[in-house]
Amino acid sequence: MGKLDGKVAFISGAARGQGRSHAVRLAEEGADIIAFDYCQQIESVAYPLSTPEDLEETVRLVEKLDRRIVARKADVRDFAAVQAVVEAGVAEFGRLDIVLANAGIMPMLGEKAHEMQAWHDTIDVMLSGVFFTIEAALPTILAGGRGGSIVITSSSAGLSVGGMKKSAKSNGSWGYVAAKHGVVGLMRAYAVGFGPDNIRCNSIHPTGVATPMIMNDEFAKFQEEHPDFGDAMQNMLPVEVVEPVDISNAIVYLCSDDGRYVTGVTLPVDAGLIVG
């Protein structure tokens, strides 16, 4: 038996990286998956974003585990589009128990990071998009009357700004920090507001994770140009980055009965970065 048998999870940003890892890991524990991703480029982001083929691979990996998945291409910045994904998934599975507001971008690389659009894109995707993802799912969770679990992907940058030195300042980097701090407030508001409905809400705060967001040429160039940023982002434990499954395992804990009384917490999975 899996820890999430019979549950249905709704995951944003599921085409690759952490989102794909979460979909696969939750499927391993018995959950069925409702997934979506934008699957095209955002102009302020210097590295390649996910593709439709990436989302198809997530579908293949989940189905390989004999779990069901409804996957759609949708923009997390478009509330109606996010609602449509929920409706399609619930029509297939009949319930919804878990929300992983995971979609994220990092427009702090390259010249476009200094344009005002980079600020708007970070806030729209990682603050408004988190709000839209949760709000689209909440009516179904509430109607089910079984409670549920919401996990918001923040960042170590949502608890500390040690790496945001002046030399690394850009509209994109400031937007990233603002969004990652902002979702902590959302998390606490949802934890308080929906605790009586047995809906738990927590945020997770990774250090650098080995995903295409940072494992790319543009990010390597950024670190070379801003060595003080890299120096400030050194983990306490002897590991440069953690793996996506390390975050997924923490999410399984938060969403399963193992974490049934855990709500309103900011959980770092950061190899000691923040305390360092």
255, 26 Cβ separation under 8 angstroms = yes
pLDDT of residue 161: 82
Beta bridge partners of 255: none
pLDDT of residue 164: 63
pTM listed for this prediction? 0.96
Rounded to whole angstroms, the Cα distance separating 266 from 205 reads: 7
pLDDT of residue 176: 95
249, 215 Cβ separation under 8 angstroms = no
65, 27 Cβ separation under 8 angstroms = yes
Output the CA–CA distances (angstroms, integers) from residue 58 to 21, 160, 170, in the order listed. Answer: 9, 32, 33
pLDDT of residue 230: 64
pLDDT of residue 166: 56
Catalytic positions = 176
Rounded to whole angstroms, the Cα distance separating 262 from 147 reads: 13
Which run of H or E residues covers position 160? Answer: none
Rounded to whole angstroms, the Cα distance separating 32 from 62 reads: 8
Distance between start and end Cα atoms, the chain: 39
pLDDT of residue 222: 79
pLDDT of residue 223: 77
Half-sphere exposure of 97 (CA within 13 A, CB side): 20
Rounded to whole angstroms, the Cα distance separating 211 from 74 reads: 21
Look up residue 79 and give its two tokens: 């509330």
What the chain holds in terms of domains, given with CATH numbers, is: 8-262 (3.40.50.720)
> Running DSSP on this structure, what letter comes out for residue 126?
I
For the chain, 276 residues long, the average pLDDT of each consecutive 10-residue run is: 97 98 98 98 96 98 98 98 98 98 94 95 98 98 98 95 69 96 98 98 97 87 74 84 98 98 98 88
